[in-house]
Amino acid sequence: MRRREFIAGLAAAAWPVVTRAQQRERVRQVGILQVGSRIGVGQLHVDAFKSALSELGWVEDRLIRHEERWADDSPESLPILAMELVKVGPDAIFLTDSPCLRAMRRATSDIPIVFAAVADPVGQGFVSSLARPGGNITGFALGEFSLVTKALDFLKKLAPNIDRVEFLYDPTQPAAAGTGDEIEAAALSFGLRPTRAPVRTAEDIEVAIAALARTPNSGLMVAASPAADLHRKQIAMLAQRHRVPAIYPFRYFVDGGGLASYGPDHTDLNRRAASYVDRILKGEKPRDLPVQLPTKFEFVVNLTTAKALGLTVPPNLLAVADEVIE
């Protein structure tokens, strides 16, 4: 009798350990929503996010599975895709831009959402504040509007003869107005005349850049948006054809032939977002995780494009560039 009781006692003591092990091995599910396509820059963002999660110990198909939805550059489909993800019931959702976050926010107020590279999340009403986001949303913002002052400084040093700068932006992006205001103030401080060009389509972009080129000594600043990502090669090609020096928000514009870029390290933001998903999967709440700003920034210059535009990049700029493409 005593022997049976002893064995029963051992089994009872071991049971919580088995349960905890089973809980640890439960496959968790992370939803991913992207406005672009798998062959675009969105895949680079997702790959960086997944890689960081893997480094944190989340082995794909053993401890974690990813449920992905891609809008294939059709933002009007995002609400449907967001509802599809909600029906799957993931433990957390990762996304990388404002249109996705807007659709996902309408689809759920319960599932934790972690964003990367969203401009002005407080101003857009996604979170209550950076320090205390509240609700089910948190993540990593693009940064403050004042970053454009530094970008404009780089553009002016690359092309010292410009006396006008045009802000190319997508008017459907709520944060664009604030960025445009900041650019206008910065442009005036550099003695430049600022103008704005709202664009959404390839045709809009072609008309805007051709019109800009008719005014000598004009420069171009391109705002971050899904539309700019989609048409980044066209923008770079038109700017080069019309000999308009331009600066872009992210390095992949320069990889595609753009003159220069200055902005947050997009890969770093996506990797940091993985750290928040990791903490949420381990029990923390989005409302307790403050929205963070970028800590890494990149200045990238394409010397081939500079030469095609007839520009000589000053040695002091080459010295501070994070990467020089030749």
Q: Give me the DSSP letters along 169-211.
A: E-TT-TTHHHHHHHHHHHHHHTT-EEEEEE--SHHHHHHHHHH
- Looking at residue 39, what is its pLDDT? 87
Pick the CATH number of 27-143+266-295 from 2.102.10.10, 3.90.76.10, 3.40.50.2300, 3.40.50.920: 3.40.50.2300
Q: Residue 20: pLDDT above 70? A: no
- Looking at residue 175, what is its pLDDT? 82
pLDDT band, very low/low/confident/very high, at 83 (cuts 50, 70, 90): very high
Give dist(CA 294, CA 192) in Å, integer.
28
- Looking at residue 208, what is its pLDDT? 97
Q: Residue 112: pLDDT above 50? A: yes
Give dist(CA 104, CA 78) in Å, integer.
8
Q: Residue 2: pLDDT above 50? A: no
pLDDT band, very low/low/confident/very high, at 25 (cuts 50, 70, 90): low
- Looking at residue 113, what is its pLDDT? 98
Strand-pair category, 260-264 with 297-302:
antiparallel
Query: Topology of domain 147-264+298-325, per CATH?
Result: Rossmann fold (3.40.50)
In angstroms, how far is the first alpha carbon of the chain from the final one?
83
pTM, full prediction: 0.87
Could you check whether 27-143+266-295 and 147-264+298-325 share the same CATH topology? Answer: yes
Percentages (nearest 5) of helix, strand, coil residues in the chain: 45, 20, 35
pLDDT band, very low/low/confident/very high, at 177 (cuts 50, 70, 90): confident
For residues 227, 232, 236 and 238, what is the CA-based torsion angle, rounded to 10 degrees? Answer: -50
pLDDT band, very low/low/confident/very high, at 27 (cuts 50, 70, 90): very high
- Interval 250-268: pLDDT, tens: 999 999 899 999 999 999 9
Domain boundaries, the chain: 27-143+266-295, 147-264+298-325
The predicted model gives 210-221 an average pLDDT of 97
Range with the poorest average pLDDT among 36-45, 53-62, 282-291:
36-45
